[in-house]
């Protein structure tokens, strides 16, 4: 059985840490972006998509929900050792 690479390991770890938020349909997607640094080195970054309204002109905009979602994600990845980028669904 082939071993998982760093990107796959990071994906599995992220999915485990955000399982509750995924069940609540707050986190809609988790991706790992691998970037080649040259010399055989790569770096992995997490891209987490959340489903909250972020447009301030929207009638259902809730800044507290946005802040809470981002705080929950950052707390889940406090020691993951990778950059985490959060984007929002519209």
How do residues 7-35 score in pLDDT, each as one tens digit? 888 888 888 888 888 888 778 888 888 88
pLDDT at residue 78 above 50? Answer: yes
Does residue 1 carry a pLDDT above 50? no
pTM score of the predicted model: 0.68
Residue 56 is predicted with a pLDDT of 64
3-state secondary structure 44-65: EEEEEEECCCCCCCCCCCCHHH
The matching CATH number, chosen from 3.30.300, 2.70.98, 3.10.450, 3.30.70, for 6-88 is 3.30.300
Sheet holding 83-88, edge to edge: 27-38, 41-50, 83-88
Residue 2 has pLDDT above 60, yes or no: no
Q: Which secondary structure element, helix H or strand E, spans residue 6, and what is its range?
A: helix 6-17
């Amino acid at each position: 059985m082939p071993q998982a690479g760093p990107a796959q390991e990071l994906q599995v770890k992220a999915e485990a840490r955000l399982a509750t938020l995924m069940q609540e349909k707050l986190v809609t997607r988790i991706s790992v972006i691998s970037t080649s640094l040259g010399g055989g080195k790569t770096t992995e970054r997490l891209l987490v998509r959340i489903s909250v309204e972020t447009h301030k002109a929207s009638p259902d905009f809730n800044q507290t929900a946005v802040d809470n979602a981002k705080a929950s994600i950052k707390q889940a990845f406090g020691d993951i050792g990778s950059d985490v980028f959060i984007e929002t669904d519209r």
